[in-house]
């Protein structure tokens, strides 16, 4: 099986210096590519000089995560792509169980390893943890991470499990499926586009797996820090758009109405916390949602039959009202 590990880079020389050596050392089963999103720093020259064996694909513009990967992957011939963030440290033999899982089942279209926190390596990391799920209102959550609560890794998720979505921080996907379901949606630019992609993968009848015996460590927030209002804007806008695009039935508009009320509550919470810029980001996200709404309604009409996407009705209710902070308590 031909694996391509593809690292999207944008002005990330320091991250490449820090994390690329672990990828080179532990990924002998794969070909490594740097997909550069029109960087203005010297990261491309650094790769050419320091790691001449690494293949470089130079995108013409910075189209964010979605377009950046779409443009780069179109130029790569491989059976399986690994979309790997530039701030991820990989471990010895991390690829072997992933390859075996793809070989065992042709219906397995995408896989995520265990994602731990680079800064606190015995805890799960926010972006993906031990595999992603959704509630009925569209709130993403993970085994090992619900909202801001991160679990300690005690081996409780060292299993293999079917999940709803795999994290874009380290996402393996078959090239054939990536092309079949329509690639990454470039209208998202960045954030939650991998959940949208996984949703379409599931709607096409394929499986997505979490493989807990493969581990990586994610720094997180390297491109946009967690408390950057731009990140808040993208997450709130894109989640609403994703729900319009993928949720079945007329109840979607009830869900959107409820979500907007809850977004208002989140905005008020930000004000109480002294973070008015994030409240403003939510307001801008709603206007951004309206701006793209018609486009996504048309996408909704073109999507195929939709499968059930949620296991619980409201993770917000479970977490904030019932005080259930751990995945196994939901």
Strands 55-58 and 160-162, by their bridges, are: unpaired
- 312-319 average pLDDT score: 96
pLDDT at 305 over 90: no
Q: What is the pLDDT of residues 123-160, one digit of tens each?
A: 999 999 999 999 999 999 999 999 989 999 999 999 99
Strands 145-146 and 149-150, by their bridges, are: antiparallel
Question: What one-character-per-residue DSSP string does 198-236 give?
Answer: HHHHHHTT-EEEEEEEEEEEE---SSS-TT-HHHHHHHH
Q: What is the pLDDT of residues 18-31, one digit of tens each?
A: 999 999 999 999 99
Question: What one-character-per-residue DSSP string does 138-170 give?
Answer: --EEETTEETTEE-B-SSTT-SEEE-SB--TTE
Q: What is the pLDDT of residues 52-63, one digit of tens each?
A: 999 999 999 999
User: Per the confidence metrics, is the pTM higher than 0.85?
Assistant: yes
Find out whether 128 and 167 touch, Cβ atoms under 8 Å.
yes
Q: Is the dihedral of CA 111, 189, 298, 236 positive or negative?
A: positive
pLDDT at 225: 54
In this prediction, residue 250 has a pLDDT band, given cuts at 50, 70 and 90, of confident
Question: 229-246 and 193-203 are packed helices; what angle lies between their axes, rounded to 10 degrees?
Answer: 20
pLDDT at 222 over 70: no
pLDDT at 226: 57
pLDDT at 260 over 70: yes
Spacing of C-alpha 8 from chain mean position: 13
102-130 burial by CB neighbour count: b if 16+ within 10 A, else e? beeeeebbbbbbbbbbbeeeebbbbbbbb
List, in order of start, the domains of the chain with CATH numbers.
3-218 (3.90.550.10), 229-329 (no CATH)
pLDDT at 251: 87
In this prediction, residue 302 has a pLDDT band, given cuts at 50, 70 and 90, of confident
pLDDT at 224: 47
Instruction: List the 140-142 sheet strands across, edge first.
Output: 132-134, 140-142, 145-146, 149-150
Contacts of 55 by beta carbon, 8 Å cutoff, 6+ apart: 31, 32, 33, 34
- 230-241 average pLDDT score: 96
- 36-45 average pLDDT score: 96
E-assigned strand segments in the chain: 3-9, 30-36, 55-58, 80-84, 88-90, 108-117, 132-134, 140-142, 145-146, 149-150, 160-162, 170-174, 207-218
């Amino acid at each position: 099986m031909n694996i391509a590990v593809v690292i999207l880079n944008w002005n990330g020389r320091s991250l490449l210096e820090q994390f690329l050596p672990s990828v080179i050392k532990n990924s002998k089963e794969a070909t490594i590519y740097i997909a550069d999103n029109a960087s203005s720093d010297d990261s491309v020259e650094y790769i050419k000089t320091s790691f001449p064996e690494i293949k470089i694909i130079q995108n013409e513009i910075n189209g964010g995560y979605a377009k950046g990967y779409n443009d780069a992957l179109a130029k790569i011939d491989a059976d399986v792509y690994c979309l790997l963030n530039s701030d991820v440290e990989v471990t010895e033999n991390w690829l072997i169980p992933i390859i075996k899982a793809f070989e065992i089942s042709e219906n397995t279209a995408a896989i995520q390893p265990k994602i731990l926190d680079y800064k606190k390596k015995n805890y799960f990391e926010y972006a993906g943890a031990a595999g992603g799920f959704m509630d009925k209102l569209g709130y993403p959550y993970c085994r090992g991470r619900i909202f801001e609560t991160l679990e300690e890794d005690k081996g409780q998720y060292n299993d293999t499990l079917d999940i709803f979505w795999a994290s874009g921080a380290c996402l393996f996907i078959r090239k054939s499926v990536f092309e079949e379901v329509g690639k990454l949606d470039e209208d998202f630019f960045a954030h939650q586009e991998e959940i949208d992609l996984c949703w379409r993968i599931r709607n096409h009848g394929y499986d997505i797996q979490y493989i807990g015996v493969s581990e990586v460590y994610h720094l997180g927030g390297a491109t946009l820090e967690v408390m950057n209002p731009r990140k808040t804007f993208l997450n709130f806008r894109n989640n609403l758009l994703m729900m319009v695009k993928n949720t079945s039935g007329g109840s979607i508009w009830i869900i959107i109405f409820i979500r907007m009320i809850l977004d208002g509550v989140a905005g008020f919470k930000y004000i109480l916390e002294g973070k008015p810029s994030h409240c403003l980001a939510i307001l801008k996200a709603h206007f951004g949602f309206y701006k793209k709404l018609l486009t996504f309604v048309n996408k909704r009409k073109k999507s195929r039959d939709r499968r059930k996407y949620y296991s619980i009705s409201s993770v917000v209710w479970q977490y904030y009202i019932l005080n259930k902070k751990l995945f196994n308590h939901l």
